[in-house]
């Protein structure tokens, strides 16, 4: 199998550069890596050739737009397309295990791994901490579990059998950070096979805070995007309702004494704007572009 890696990045060129270096340590190197960004100012110039080919794909702003531009370059040339956030650190055998799983399980359409630490849900994780977690997992592997089926994959690390993608693309109405664009895209792959999380795929999501959308915009997406995806048919109603309630409750409860790394008040304001739009019958995820 030929495997391509896609790395979207925005305003974090040192972070993306670090991931490119980290990928050189994979036991099974990617056949190609596509780094996708709005323009060349978001990436560092490569001073020497990597152990694998690298292409820079410029144009478009927003996670979905950037991923789609990379797909336009990769489809038809590769059997597997793996998406990594620029702050995700895969274990050394990650890509080897992806190819092994797709080769031996014809019913797998989408794969994602076990995230040993997800800094997106807390203060974040340094590169040194992330590497230490991977070294510890290599010495003492976590307990094995059978494949776990999911409604959709987690976008920080997801691999898709390229042959099942067809005309499906990331929905660019889910502008900027996207918010649930990964569920939307990979849920559409389920008609062709299983979407599973594998214990053999390990990694750490550093959760670096720079380059993310502001609290108001994210709060708006937290309310509107799930409703949009329910209407589109790519997210179950119960999943969407739970997602909205948990985020709204967390933002409301913590807005008085917010964590220093989370703009709870901004998110709550965005939640309320989104709720007002839904009550008025407006389901417009792209409205985040109008928010400041």
Does residue 113 carry a pLDDT above 60? yes
CATH number at residue 137: 3.90.550.10
Question: 5-47, pLDDT tens digit by residue?
Answer: 999 999 899 999 999 999 999 999 999 999 999 999 999 988 7
Q: How far is residue 164's CA from residue 142's CA, in Å, rounded to a whole number?
A: 31
Structure tokens that stand for 194 in this block: 């299983």
18 and 161 both lie in a single domain: yes
Can you give the pTM of this predicted structure?
0.94
249 and 128 both lie in a single domain: no
Last residue of a domain, one of 145, 177, 205: 205
Q: Is residue 287 situated within a structural domain?
A: no
137 and 267 both lie in a single domain: no
Structure tokens that stand for 58 in this block: 């410029």
Question: 183-240, pLDDT tens digit by residue?
Answer: 999 999 999 999 999 999 999 999 987 656 689 999 999 999 999 999 999 999 999 9
Total domains present in the chain: 2
> Nearest Cα to 209, choosing from 276, 288, 123?
123
pLDDT value at residue 19? 96
Q: Is residue 292 situated within a structural domain?
A: no
Q: Is residue 175 situated within a structural domain?
A: yes
57 and 37 both lie in a single domain: yes
Does residue 253 carry a pLDDT above 80? yes
CA angle, residues 8, 33, 15, in degrees to nearest 5? 45
State the average pLDDT over residues 247-276: 93
18 and 48 both lie in a single domain: yes
**CB atoms < 10 A from the CB of 185, how many?**
28
H runs (alpha helix) in 141-213: 181-187
Does residue 263 carry a pLDDT above 70? yes
46 and 128 both lie in a single domain: yes
Contact 153, 110 (CB under 8 A): yes
Element (H, E) at 267: helix 264-279
112 and 53 both lie in a single domain: yes
Q: Which domain holds residue 101?
A: 3-205
Torsion of CA 271, 276, 282, 288, to 10 degrees: -40
Last residue of a domain, one of 141, 170, 205: 205
Element (H, E) at 148: strand 148-149
What residues pair up with 55 in beta bridges, in sequence order?
34
Last residue of a domain, one of 170, 205, 240: 205
123 and 226 both lie in a single domain: no
148 and 31 both lie in a single domain: yes
* pLDDT band with cut points at 50, 70 and 90 for residue 262: confident
151 and 222 both lie in a single domain: no
H runs (alpha helix) in 140-236: 181-187, 215-232
Does residue 3 carry a pLDDT above 80? yes
Q: Is residue 229 situated within a structural domain?
A: yes
224 and 103 both lie in a single domain: no
pLDDT value at residue 212? 65
Overall size of the chain counted in residues: 292
> Nearest Cα to 6, choosing from 61, 117, 81?
81
Question: 121-179, pLDDT tens digit by residue?
Answer: 888 899 999 999 999 999 999 988 999 999 999 999 999 999 999 999 999 999 998 89
Q: Is residue 247 situated within a structural domain?
A: yes
Q: Is residue 199 situated within a structural domain?
A: yes
pLDDT value at residue 47? 78
* pLDDT band with cut points at 50, 70 and 90 for residue 59: confident
161 and 243 both lie in a single domain: no
Does residue 120 carry a pLDDT above 90? no
pLDDT value at residue 233? 95
Q: Is residue 291 situated within a structural domain?
A: no
Q: Is residue 29 situated within a structural domain?
A: yes
């Amino acid at each position: 199998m030929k495997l391509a890696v896609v790395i979207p990045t925005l305003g974090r060129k040192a972070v993306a550069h670090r991931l490119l270096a980290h990928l050189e340590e994979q036991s099974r190197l990617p056949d190609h890596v596509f780094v996708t960004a709005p323009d060349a100012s978001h990436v560092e110039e490569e001073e020497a050739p990597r152990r694998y080919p690298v292409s820079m794909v410029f144009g478009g702003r927003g996670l979905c737009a950037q991923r789609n531009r990379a797909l336009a370059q990769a489809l038809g040339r590769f059997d597997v397309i793996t998406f990594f956030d620029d702050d995700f650190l895969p274990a050394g055998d990650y890509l080897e295990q992806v190819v092994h799983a797709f080769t031996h399980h014809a019913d797998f359409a989408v794969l994602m791994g076990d995230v040993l630490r997800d800094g997106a849900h807390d203060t974040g994780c340094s590169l040194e901490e992330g590497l230490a977690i991977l070294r510890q997992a290599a010495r003492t592997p976590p307990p094995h579990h059978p494949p776990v089926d999911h409604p959709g994959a987690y976008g920080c690390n997801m691999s898709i059998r390229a042959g099942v993608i067809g005309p499906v693309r990331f929905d660019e109405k889910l502008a900027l950070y996207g918010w649930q664009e990964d569920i939307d895209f990979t849920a559409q792959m389920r008609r062709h096979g299983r979407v599973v999380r594998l214990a053999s795929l390990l990694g750490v999501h550093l959760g670096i805070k720079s380059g993310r959308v502001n609290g108001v915009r994210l709060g708006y997406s937290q309310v509107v995007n799930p409703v949009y995806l329910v209407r589109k048919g790519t997210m179950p109603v119960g999943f969407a309702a739970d997602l909205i309630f948990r985020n709204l409750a967390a933002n409301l409860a913590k807005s008085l004494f917010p964590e220093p790394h989370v703009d709870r008040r901004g998110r709550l304001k965005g939640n309320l704007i989104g709720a007002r739009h839904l009550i008025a019958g407006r389901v417009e995820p792209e409205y985040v572009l109008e928010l400041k």
